[in-house]
Chain A
């Protein structure tokens, strides 16, 4: 079965600390992987994506993610979070046609001052 698991419903991090959000997937074909961010009251915005090639991908707002095929994971990282990073983060997986992405349940990031 195709699925995306984000094990952490919410994570609290101090401002300036590093961040890692976990994402595990199950997908029958070559996965295309995505991280989206949803700020309060807003729509979702693409942070980064992985299709092929270098398994460490850089995104917007200083985020990066690493694809690990052996672990079926695509974890999101940021070396130093800012208060403006407080948001809901969604991991998603799709195939080449990508008409239908499989979405994780989201992880809410809370930033402590």
Chain B
């Protein structure tokens, strides 16, 4: 059973298109995250939701919109894709405030290539 699963694993698309990445966790965690990892492996947090409430919204273009239909799911929709959006996007979860051990459980990543 995969704890944090993301789909798709690979995504190749043209500039200007709109795409979504889905994430689901079966750990019962309260908090979920989206991270972007660039070609130099630098990790940048994008968003975090705690029990479906947005708690971290870093400075990312508003073309990126997260959606959390329930606490087990956090999807990422990207409009009008640009070349600079090419990266690996990681979803992660953690137990949440009060029970937060600081341990993040990561998905395997979704590699987005914009042509």
Contacts and interface: CB of A to CB of B under 8 A. Distances in A.
Given A99-B48, A101-B104, A43 B109 contact: yes
Nearest to A51: B102
Contacts of A98: 94, 100-102
Contacts, number: 59
B42 A45 contact: no
Given A99-B31, A105-B41, A45 B106 contact: yes
B110 to A, nearest CB: 10
Interface residues of A, number: 25
Given A97-B100, A100-B48, A105 B42 contact: yes
A101 B41 CA distance: 16
A84 B5 CA distance: 24
B102 A32 contact: yes
A98 B90 CA distance: 17
A49 B48 CA distance: 21
Nearest to B50: A99
24 contacts: A32-B102, A34-B103, A38-B41, A43-B92, A43-B107, A43-B108, A43-B109, A44-B92, A44-B106, A46-B104, A88-B41, A97-B97, A99-B31, A99-B50, A99-B56, A99-B97, A100-B45, A100-B48, A101-B45, A101-B104, A103-B42, A103-B43, A105-B40, A106-B43
Nearest to A93: B102
Given A43-B108, A43-B109, A94 B102 contact: yes
A90 interface: yes
A44 B108 CA distance: 8
A93 to B, nearest CB: 9
A100 B41 CA distance: 18
B83 interface: no
